[in-house]
Amino acid sequence: MTVNQVKRAFKYRFYPTDAQAAELARTFGCVRKVYNLALAARTEAFTRQERVNYNQTSAMLTAWKKTEELAFLNDVSSVPLQQCLRHLQLAFTHFFGKRAKYPRFKSKKKSRRSAEYTTSAFRFRDGKLTLAKMAQPLDIVWSRPLPTGATPSTVTVSQDAAGRWFVSLLCDDPSITPLPAADTAVGIDLGLDHLLTLSTGEKIANPRPERRDRARLALAQRRLAKKAKGDGANRSKARRKAARIHARIADRRRDHLHKLTTRLVRENQTLVIEDLTVRNMVKNRRLARAISDAAWSEFRSMLEYKAAWYGREVIAVDRWFPSSKLCSACGTLQDRMPLNVRTWTCDCGTTHDRDVNAAQNLLAAGLAVTACGAGVRPQRRTPGGQSATKQEASRREPRSPRL
């Protein structure tokens, strides 16, 4: 792989035969079993203040396969089982690095059903993918071509709650190269009435993908709630119907965000957003559904990795920066700005659209960071006329607030 090439996953839907579906279902079950056994062993060692690494759990797996109780682990490919141990090792690495919570056990009904195959466990020839322990290639719907000459290094097979089967092929994508440098920058204010408001004044409507199917989803969930709990066919059918609606909503939302983030990254060299704590914001019971439907976190994630692909820069401004209360024309800082105030007039006579003004202030703060380094905010003035910085200096020693 050259320096400029990027690893990219290409996800496709496929339709397995009955034999392939049964084999994959066994593999999913074995992956979940091995993961839980290894997590239990590592947790027990953790309580004794001991560390168990990947090599030790791999040796445990070999011993488990030799027991009569777990002999069924030999019936599936060994590669997905080894890969799940690597995933567990990565989860503990993030935990000890304080980047994630302690790993949790996989649930048969709630956890994602997936298995990862490396190059030794699959064959990819002439556009046909054959997994280990399978005689026939998968019937994949090639909705888009793989990069010319690309060979997958990892294949991940998964099944979602709606019963759909997907295969994800990780390979080098030489088409992803930095775009020509541009002199454009944009501030982005996230909202609910409008999903995005740009510093240019453009407002992008919020498609509200969940609202379109809300009545249909509510009906499907009521019917599911009335089914007796268990493994009955009627409950499974009702569960899949509700899951299909959820999947349609998620697909619609993801498609819109992909198109939007790709456009923003292609048009702008610098993109400035606000560092929102969505996890805390969804605790507002009145706005939780709308905030979750807007998928602000997913938008930011897409924006950041696409900017890294194409040589763009994303700047996140501190969440406490008063972008809505600050006049972008004269720097006056208003005392209060309730959410129901959508337009306001500053003492300098400038009338602001709340969201456009916020986006322009975010852009100014982001450009200040680029020019002067982190911790720089634009000068702002209070309604009394004195700059906020001077007021702070009269009370205490000034310090630069972080961005």
Model confidence pLDDT, tens digit, residues 88-106: 999 999 999 999 999 999 9
Segment holding 18, helix H or strand E? helix 18-47
Catalytic residues: 189, 274, 355
Task: Give the mean pLDDT of 49-77.
Answer: 94
In degrees to the nearest 10, what's the CA dihedral of 254, 259, 264, 265? 90
Q: Is the predicted pLDDT of residue 393 greater than 70, yes or no?
A: no
pLDDT tens digit sequence for 131-172: 999 999 999 999 999 988 889 999 999 999 999 999 999 999
Distances (CA, A) of 262 to 144, 253, 256: 17, 14, 10
Residue 263, both tokens: 């456009």
* Spans of all domains in the chain: 6-173, 185-317
Give the C-alpha separation, 117 to 12, whole Å. 16
The DSSP annotation for 372-385 comes to H-TT-----B-TTS
On whether the pTM is more than 0.85, the answer is no
Contacts of 12 (CB under 8 A, 6+ apart): 140, 141, 142, 143, 166, 167, 168, 169
| Contact between 136 and 130 (Cβ < 8 Å) | yes
- pLDDT of 4: 58
Residue 278 amino acid letter: V
The H or E element that residue 302 is part of is: helix 296-310
Pairing status of strand 270-274 against strand 313-317:
parallel
Kind of pairing, strands 343-345 and 313-317? unpaired
Cβ-contact 189, 358 below 8 angstroms: yes
